[in-house]
Amino acid sequence: MSTTTTPATPGRAAVPGPGGPGGQPAAAPRVVRQRRRRPGLIALSVALIAAGGLSGALLFTASGQRTAVLVVARDVPVGAAISEADLAPASLALDPAVKAVPVAKKAGLVGQRAAVALKAGALLSPAQVTSVSLIKAGEQLVGVALKPSQLPASRLSPGQKVLIVSTPDPSQAAAGKAGEAAGAPKTLPATVVAVGPPAPATGVVVVDVAVPATDGPALAARVATGAVALILAPQEGS
């Protein structure tokens, strides 16, 4: 039996049958759906971005606002009088909750006293300054000149409680009877008001102390003889 073969038409490719290559069915073409734009969602996104940018701009502007305030230029011990050189201006961005002293009030602070120990570089607050003197009513200010051997090596600060000790006179001690028990030295409570610088040659330091007015003259007379010493009083709670 003879078989007739139909030749392929030149220029035309052979079309595969419904089964595709290998007899497998051909996959249906995928239909790409076009996403629908939602104008409301786009408008909301734009609004959120704009709000975020505005908040950032306001925050930057607020943080950039600076205030001219006073800072401590050098250490000031508690109770010491504040001088113009102790304060310096500074421009800082402060939180509204921070209490600071404006630069315009500097002149009114000069001459007042430090209510606490002020440290250089710290921001000055109104509560750290007081107009109350360390010399109370009924007290007198007495200057006590002391050699290095007559006072502690620790630095004294205004407001400290001390004891002025009457040391025995060397001439009277030599004239005393042998074996006689020496009584306890007399002490006088006092408050340090100011501490002067050591003298260049002798190292003598003058410490101004506040004592009861009834004891002021006797202490001044004792200081003139040099028969005194200064010791730190026990701290409260110790």
pLDDT in tens, 26-55: 666 665 555 555 666 667 676 677 666 656
- For range 217-222, the mean pLDDT: 94
Q: Which pLDDT score, from 0 to 100, does residue 188 have?
A: 94
DSSP assignment of the chain: -----PPPPTT-PPPP-TT-GGGPPPPPPPP-PPPPP-HHHHHHHHHHHHHHHHHHHHHHHHHT--EEEEEESS-B-TTPBPPGGGEEEEEE---TT----BGGGHHHHTT-EESS-B-TTPBP-GGGEE---SS-TTEEEEEEEE-GGGS-SSPP-TT-EEEEEEPPPHHHHHHSPTTPPPPPPPEEEEEEEEEPPPPTTT--EEEEEEEETTTHHHHHHHHHHT-EEEEEPPPTT-
Higher pLDDT: 17 or 195? It is 195
Q: Which pLDDT tens digit goes with each residue over 53-104?
A: 656 555 545 555 778 889 999 998 777 889 999 999 988 877 778 788 898 9
Give pLDDT, residue 76. 86
User: Does the predicted TM-score (pTM) go above 0.75?
Assistant: no
Report pLDDT digits (tens) over 131-143.
877 788 899 999 9
What mean pLDDT, rounded, does the chain reach? 77
* Segment 156-200, tens digit of pLDDT: 888 889 999 998 766 555 555 444 445 678 899 999 888 888 999
pLDDT at position 237 = 54
In this predicted structure, what is the pLDDT of residue 165? 94
If pLDDT is split at 50, 70 and 90, which confidence band does 228 have?
Answer: very high
